[in-house]
Amino acid sequence: MNPSNIHHSSDDLQLARDLVEINHAPASLHNADRNGFLRPLPLWLMAFSMFLFFWAGMYLAYNSGGFKANVFDASVVSWSGGGSGGAAAAVDMKVLGKKVFTQTCVICHQATGLGVPGQFPPLVGTEWVLSQDWHGDNHLVKQVLYGMQGPITVKGLPYNNAMAAWSQLSDQQIAAVLTYVRSEWGNNAPPITTEFVTKVRADTKPRTEAWNLAEMKAIPKEMCSGSAAPATPPAKK
């Protein structure tokens, strides 16, 4: 070292201070990051968060009902009444019914109710849905409760496929979805009441397998008498 530089000039002092600061800088950085804030996220965590965001997005897309209030709260719907009493109950059932339909039936019978030719029969104007000919409201309920398989005819066209059972739905959900189906796409049949579904389910126990046409035809036709809501107002609410 050059001895002429041993004395401390103010330049040297400044230099020394700078050096101390430089030396301290990494140390303080290190302290600040003792908890790992400055370390990059592990790759798995990034992937996982991206998956979470994606999942949340899909969940919202499928379950938000388009963020329309009336999907969840029937009271938001304004209803012109349809001429008869018991309108409030009908509103609930149609809104609930649409929800059940969208969640359970739409994949096969389609949002148009027209089904898929040759595979899934339509629900528009069919004798099954409207309880015409030998078909009763009881057949319709039983069919949705336990499913249907094998050859059947719908509006004169043959189908030979299988429909799953929906007995896991509540009586109210089944009544609602059938009420919806029977009044949508130009269909114009009276509602199916929850009480009727409860009765048919009780009559049908203990059953687990899907019906076939012969079995179904052997069951005498019954209609949901409570369907004209105003005639015998059930004890509501």
List residues near ligand HEC by CB under 6 A: 104-105, 107-109, 120-123, 126, 128-129, 140, 143-144, 148-150, 152, 154, 159-164, 166, 177, 181
The neighbour count for residue 94, using CB atoms within 10 Å, is 20
Integer Cα distance of 216 and 221 in angstroms: 10
Token readout for 57 is 């997005």
Q: How far is the CB of 124 from ligand HEC (least distance, A)?
A: 9
Instruction: Give whichever of 143 and 193 is closer to ligand HEC, judged by the CB atom.
Output: 143
Q: How far is the CB of 35 from ligand HEC (least distance, A)?
A: 52
Q: How far is the CB of 211 from ligand HEC (least distance, A)?
A: 8
Q: Is residue 180 a contact partner of residue 93, using CB atoms and an 8 Å limit?
A: yes
Q: Is residue 57 a contact partner of residue 74, using CB atoms and an 8 Å limit?
A: no
Q: Which residues, including other chains, have CB under 8 Å from residue 204's CB and lie 6 or more apart? A: 142, 145, 146
Instruction: Give whichever of 89 and 173 is closer to ligand HEC, judged by the CB atom.
Output: 173
User: What is the residue type of 51?
Assistant: F
Instruction: Give whichever of 128 and 146 is closer to ligand HEC, judged by the CB atom.
Output: 128
Q: How far is the CB of 92 from ligand HEC (least distance, A)?
A: 18
- Whose structure tokens read 């009727």? 196
Instruction: Give whichever of 87 and 219 is closer to ligand HEC, judged by the CB atom.
Output: 219
